[in-house]
Amino acid sequence: MTHRDVVVIGGSAGSHKPLAQVLARFPSDLPAVVLVVVHVAPGARATLAETLARACALPVRPAVDGTRLEPGAVHVAVPNRHLLVDDCAVLRVSDGPRQNLVRPAVDALFRSAARWCGPRTVGVILSGSLDDGSAGLAAIAAGGGVALVQDPAEARFPGMPTAALRVVPDAETLPGFDLGDMIAEVVGKPVTAQSRPPEPLIWETDMLAYGASRTPDHGQAVELGCPECRGGMYVVRTGLADHYVCHVGHSYSPQSLLSVRDDNIEEAVWTAVSALLEKVVLLKKLAERAQAADDIEAAEKHRAEAGRASRAATVLRNNLHLSDAENPVAHLLGHSY
């Protein structure tokens, strides 16, 4: 008989307190292995495991590649490495493609657990921004696992919990302090054997762990380019959740893809504003020189063209919804010609 014995927990901004609360409620004989991903900067020190160990009866360690998955231990993702489950027996610490703009990513861990552990998995989403973890939690639920979400009303940053509940509306919602008790209650329960995972899930987790896959089904092709490598992208649908994966394994939730596109658009607009302002400066100099040479017609022509360029820059800047205080070239846009 197979039992529920894998707990995966993911969070981002504001998740440290509820995570410590969860771990503090675990008994020393918890019949499950616990895997934790919290978004951290690539260059950060790997101190989270040490901090969490103070509140937990179980041993808490930074994740080490190749570690056997055994009940009664907590493994914490290290900076700039995905934490993955491989063949439901060992951990993988991978420098594979970023997902949702981050590494480690919650979705990477959750989707690998959904593939290899299926109904044995308990997935937990804590406080954080945007929607990393939503597709992974949907995969866990689709595979027969248990989905738990921190109550968005008490989360310091409710984005991740809210997004998770949007795609897994039947997930159990609890305050952070009560999640640990719920996890302890559901682990160890018998579960039915899992069915074969969907091929896009197999392909994606292969790409994260090994950089290659023999599975041909990437999902449905869409007319989008990957923001990181410019390769073609596919949409993968899991229940109510959609996410986008490129041919090398970069993955984006809808909100993370919109976020990076917003950054791309802003960068492009500021490039255009800068080019227009450089044109204004040059035209102003040409107007001054024409005025000094008594070429009044040419001076007026240059001033008129400079005015048009200045107004165009102002329109672009205003459509970025930035105040003058936030705009590094606002003082230039105040000139009239």
Q: Which of 105, 226, 121 is nearest to 168 (CA)?
A: 121
| 3-state class (DSSP) for residue 19 | helix
| CB neighbour class for 26 (10 Å; exposed up to 12, middle 13-18, buried from 19) | buried
Q: Which of 117, 141, 126 is nearest to 5 (CA)?
A: 117
Q: Which of 2, 60, 26, 8 is nearest to 181 (CA)?
A: 26
Q: Are strands 121-125 and 146-150 parallel, antiparallel or unpaired?
A: parallel
**Alpha carbon 105 to chain centroid, angstroms:** 6
Do the Cβ atoms of 114 and 239 come closer than 8 Å? no
Indicate which residues carry an active-site annotation: 12, 39, 132
- DSSP secondary structure letters along 26-52: --TT-SSEEEEEE---TT--S-HHHHH
* Count of Cβ atoms closer than 10 Å to residue 144 Cβ: 17
| CA 74 vs CA 43, 81, 117, 141, 209: distances in Å | 22, 17, 17, 22, 21
Question: 14 — alpha (psi -120 to 50), left (phi > 0) or beta?
Answer: left
Q: Which of 73, 90, 67, 60 is nearest to 32 (CA)?
A: 73
Do the Cβ atoms of 90 and 69 come closer than 8 Å? yes
Do the Cβ atoms of 138 and 112 come closer than 8 Å? no
CA–CA separation, 333 vs 97, rounded Å? 41
